[in-house]
């Protein structure tokens, strides 16, 4: 039986640990028939070690999404490896420590600018770097953390995710004529490396214990990975500019 990504070529960012959503997206994508390539920064060797746990071998390339030189050479490197692309997964987010953990009112602009550049503007940068390889259309999928609300400890990553969500809509608008879709998965909290870097992350995650209609497991990134693979597939051919919640339903529940 064929997979829903048979024949698809997908670039995936953000594979840092087995516990990361991006790792499970990569694993599921391979299981569903895709050829994939991974990017990593700042330690490609770490991603190379994790990549050995995927069902099939895959190439890892260094990519700093704030580095114009890295972005400029990306299409050539990926093109040599895969020939083209049908999908891109943006699983990139970063904020300096002084932009997190209850320091919202005291965070300097330099730290805010870094969070915005890496976490939001990079969706546009990455998409445009890959655009020459997506001659037959394709799907761009990013990861957000519901930016409708002010979350405990999340601070400037909240506005950064709001900017990411808006950026996705504008990419959807401007690339729709090229049959390129851009959507986001809004995932519940996962105990990944990125999450563990947030001071007081346990306070944020505890919200799910009380309010999520479906039981939420911090140790299970697979549901979000499945959401990514579904959006990469042809099963959402006319869906773009959308945010799909994979959060146990918490987004629908009031206090």
Is residue 27 part of the annotated active site? The answer reads: no
Q: In what order do the strands lie in the sheet with 243-246?
A: 60-62, 35-40, 9-12, 87-90, 138-144, 180-187, 243-246
Q: Residue ranges for the binding site?
A: 14, 20-21, 64-65, 92, 95, 161, 190-194
Mapping DSSP to helix (H, G, I), strand (E, B) and coil, where does residue 177 land? helix
Q: Residue ranges for the binding site for substrate?
A: 95
Q: Which of 161, 170, 219, 238 is catalytic?
A: 161
Mapping DSSP to helix (H, G, I), strand (E, B) and coil, where does residue 191 land? coil
Contact 180, 128 (CB under 8 A): no
Sign of the four-CA dihedral 135, 136, 142, 147: positive
Helix (H) or strand (E) holding 224: helix 222-232
CA 5 to CA 198: how far, in whole Å? 34
Mapping DSSP to helix (H, G, I), strand (E, B) and coil, where does residue 80 land? helix
Is residue 154 part of the annotated active site? The answer reads: yes
Q: Which of 124, 154, 219, 226 is catalytic?
A: 154
How many residues would you count in the chain?
Answer: 255
Q: Residue ranges for the binding site for NAD(+)?
A: 14, 20-21, 64-65, 92, 161, 190-194
CA 189 to CA 207: how far, in whole Å? 10
Residues labelled as active-site residues:
154, 161
């Amino acid at each position: 039986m064929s997979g829903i990504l048979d024949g698809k070529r997908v670039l995936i960012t953000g594979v840092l640990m087995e516990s990361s959503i991006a790792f499970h997206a990569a694993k599921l994508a391979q299981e569903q028939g895709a050829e994939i390539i991974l990017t990593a920064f700042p330690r490609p060797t770490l991603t190379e070690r994790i990549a050995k746990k995927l069902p099939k071998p895959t190439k890892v390339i260094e990519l700093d999404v704030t580095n114009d030189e890295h972005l400029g050479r990306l299409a050539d490197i990926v093109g040599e490896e895969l020939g083209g692309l049908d999908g891109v997964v943006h699983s990139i987010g970063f904020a300096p420590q002084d932009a997190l953990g209850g320091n919202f009112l005291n965070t300097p602009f330099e730290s805010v600018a870094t969070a915005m550049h890496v976490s939001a503007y990079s969706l546009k940068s990455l998409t445009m770097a890959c655009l020459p390889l997506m001659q037959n259309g394709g799907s761009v999928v990013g990861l957000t953390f519901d930016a409708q609300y002010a979350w405990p400890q999340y601070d400037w990553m909240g506005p950064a995710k709001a900017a990411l969500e808006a950026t996705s809509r504008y990419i959807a608008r401007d690339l729709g004529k090229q049959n390129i879709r851009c959507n986001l998965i809004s995932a519940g909290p996962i105990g990944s490396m990125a999450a563990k870097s947030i001071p007081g992350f346990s306070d944020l995650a505890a919200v799910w214990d009380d309010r999520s209609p479906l039981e939420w497991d911090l140790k299970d990134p697979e549901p979000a990975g499945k959401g990514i693979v579904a959006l990469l597939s042809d099963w959402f051919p006319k869906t773009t500019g959308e945010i799909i919640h994979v959060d146990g339903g918490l987004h629908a529940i009031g206090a």
